Amino acid sequence: MVVVAVIGARLHSDFTWSGVASFLGWFALLWWMWASHTFYADRYDTDDLVYRLLAAAQMVAVVVMAASLADGPSESSVVFAGAYAAGRLALLAMYARVYRHVVETRTLVRGYLMGFGLGAVFWTSSVFFDEPARYVLWAVALTIDLMTPWVMRKEQAKVPLDTSHFPERFGLFTILVLGESIAAVAVGLQHHEWDVASTTTAALGVGVATALWWLYFENTGGRIVRRSEEVRTTWRPTVWIYTHFLLAAALTAVGISFELAIEEVGHGGMEAEARWLLVGAAIAALAAMAAIQFAAGTDPRLRETASHRLLGIPFLVIVGLLGGLEPGWVVFGVLGVCVAVLVADLSRAHHWSSAV
pLDDT tens-digit readout, 99-118: 988 888 899 999 999 999 99
pLDDT at 229 over 50: no
What is the spatial distance between Cα 300 and Cα 204, in angstroms, rounded to a whole number?
Answer: 32
For residue 39, the model assigns a pLDDT of 86
Q: How far apart (Å, rounded) are the C-alpha atoms in residues 8 and 321?
A: 25
Please list, in sequence order, all residues whose beta carbon lies within 8 angstroms of the beta carbon of residue 111, skipping any fewer than 6 positions away: 148, 151, 152, 155
Contact predicate 130/90, CB 8 Å: no
Q: According to the model, what pLDDT value does residue 115 have?
A: 95
Cis peptide before 160 (omega within 30 of 0): no
Contact (Cβ atoms closer than 8 angstroms) between residue 260 and residue 308: no
Task: Say what the pLDDT of residue 305 is.
Answer: 82
**118 phi/psi in degrees, rounded to 5:** -65, -40
- On the CB side of 310, CA atoms within 13 Å amount to 11
Supply the pLDDT for residue 265. Answer: 84
pLDDT digits (tens, 9 = 90+) for 108-148: 999 999 999 999 999 999 999 988 899 999 999 999 999 99
More confident residue, 164 or 273: 273
Alpha carbon of 34 to those of 3, 153, 245, 281, 283: distances in Å? 11, 20, 10, 21, 24
Residue 332 pLDDT level (bands cut at 50, 70, 90): very high
Q: How would residue 298 be classed by pLDDT, with cut points 50, 70 and 90?
A: low
In whole angstroms, what is the distance from residue 59 CA to residue 35 CA?
Answer: 14
CA–CA distance, 9 with 28 (Å, rounded to integer): 16
Q: How far, in Å, CA of 128 to CA of 122, rounded?
A: 10
Percent of the chain with pLDDT over 70: 88
**pLDDT score recorded for residue 108:** 92
Domain segments of the chain as ranges: 2-158, 166-355
Query: Residues 35-64: what's their mean pLDDT?
Result: 87
Predicted pLDDT at 77: 86
How many Å apart are CA 131 and CA 129, to the nearest integer?
7
Q: What is the mean predicted confidence (pLDDT) over 24-51?
A: 87
pLDDT at 231: 44
Rounded to the nearest integer, the mean pLDDT of the chain is: 84
Lowest mean pLDDT among 14-18, 311-315, 337-341: 14-18
Q: Is the pLDDT of residue 233 over 50?
A: no
Q: What is the pTM of this model?
A: 0.86
Q: Which DSSP state fits 69? A: H
What pLDDT score does 101 carry? 87
Q: CB-based contacts of 295: which residues, under 8 Å, 6+ apart?
A: 225, 235, 236, 237, 239, 240, 243
Alpha-carbon gap, residue 248 to 341, rounded angstroms: 19
In the chain, the N- to C-terminal Cα span, in Å, equals: 42
- pLDDT above 70 (res 162): no
- Residue 31 amino acid letter: W
Nearest partner of 34 among 227, 170, 171, judged by Cα = 170
What letter does residue 322 receive in the DSSP assignment? -
In one-letter notation, the amino acid at residue 16 is T
What digits encode the pLDDT tens for the residues 51-89?
899 999 999 998 898 888 876 554 578 899 999 999 999
Whether residue 95 is predicted with pLDDT greater than 70 in this model: the reply is yes
> Quick one: pLDDT at residue 228?
45
